[in-house]
Structure 1
Amino acid sequence: MLPADMSLTAAFALSVLVAVAAKTGAWLWQLRTRNAGMVDAIWAWTLGGLAGLYALCGDAPAVLRLLVAVMGGAWGLRLGWHLWVRNHGKAEDWRYAQLRKEWGAGADSKMFWFFQFQNVFTLMLAASAFAPVAYRDTMPPAWAIGLAVLLWFGSIAGEGIADRQMERFRANPANKGTVCRDGLWRYSRHPNYFFECVHWAAYVPLALGAPWGWVSLAAPAIMAFLLLKLSGVPMLEAEMSRRKPGYDAYVRSTSALIPWPPKA
Structure 2
Amino acid sequence: MTELLQVLAVEVLVVAAAMALTAYAARRAGRYSVVDTTWGLALAAVALVAAAGGAALDTGESWRRWLLVVLVAVWGSRLSWHMHRRNSGHGEDPRYTAMLAGASPLQRAVKVWVTQGAAVVLVGLPVTVAAVTTGGWPPMAAAGVALWLLGVSFEAVGDAQLARFKADPANRGLIMDRGLWSWTRHPNYFGDACVWWGIWLVSLTTPWSLLTVVAPLAMTYFLVFATGARLLDRHMEGRPGWAEYASRTSMFLPRPPRHTGRGPREAR
Normalization by structure 2: what TM-score? Answer: 0.88
- Tell me, yes or no, if structure 1 residue 77 matches structure 2 residue 77: yes
Supply the AA of the counterpart residue of 1:233: A
2:142–2:202 CA contact under 8 A, matched in 1: no
**2:130 corresponds to 1:116:** no
C-alpha distance in structure 2 between counterparts of 1:98 and 1:209, whole Å: 41
What one-letter code is carried by the residue in structure 1 that aligns with 2:124?
A: A
User: Could you tell me which residue of structure 1 aligns to residue 36 of structure 2?
Assistant: 40
Shift of 1:24: 1.2
Q: What residue is the counterpart of 1:12 in the other structure?
A: 8
Q: Does 1:60 align with 2:60?
A: yes
Alignment of 1:1-264 (within 5 A): 7-58=3-54, 59-98=59-98, 102-103=102-103, 106-107=104-105, 109-114=106-111, 115-127=113-125, 129-138=126-135, 140-242=136-238, 244-264=239-259
Write out the 4+ residue segments of structure 1 that deviate beyond 6 Å after TM superposition. none
**What is the CA–CA distance in structure 2 between the aligned matches of 1:13 and 1:214, rounded to whole Å?**
21
Is 2:18–2:38's contact at 8 Å kept on the other side of the alignment? yes
Q: Write the letter of the residue equivalent to 2:24.
A: L
Q: What one-letter code is carried by the residue in structure 2 that aligns with 1:49?
A: A
Which segment is superposed worse, 70-79 or 209-218?
A: 209-218
Cα separation, partners in 2 of 1:112 and 1:141, compared to 1, 3 Å? same
Q: 1:174 to 1:43 in 2, by over 3 A?
A: same
3-state SS of the aligned residue for 1:212? Answer: helix
Amino acid aligned to 1:83: M
TM-aligned CA distance change 1:116 to 1:209, over 3 Å: closer
Deviation at 1:98, TM superposition (A): 4.2
Question: Given that residues 54 and 130 in structure 1 are in contact (C-alpha distance below 8 angstroms), is that contact kept between their aligned partners in structure 2?
Answer: yes
Give secondary structure in 1 for the equivalent of 2:91.
Answer: coil
CA shift for structure 1 position 29: 0.9
For the 8 Å contact 2:225–2:231, the answer to whether it is kept is no
Deviation at 1:93, TM superposition (A): 1.4
Q: 1:194–1:258: 8 Å Cα contact kept in structure 2?
A: yes
> Whole-Å Cα distance in 2 between the matches of residues 143 and 113 of structure 1?
41
Gaps of 5+ in 2: 260-268
Q: Distance in 1 between matches of 2:38 and 2:201?
A: 27
Q: Offset of 1:124 from its aligned partner?
A: 0.9
TM-score by length of 1: 0.89
Instruction: Give the partner amino acid of 1:205.
Output: L
Specify the SS of the correspondent of 1:181: coil
Alpha carbons of structure 1 residues 252 and 17: separation in structure 2 relative to 1, 3 Å: same
The whole-number CA distance in structure 2 between the counterparts of 1:147 and 1:121 is: 25
Q: For 1:110-137, what per-residue CA distance to the aligned partner results, in whole angstroms no more than 9, with x for missing partners?
A: 433222122222211111x212321212
SS of the residue corresponding to residue 220 of structure 1 reads helix
Ranges in structure 1 where 5+ consecutive residues have no aligned partner? none
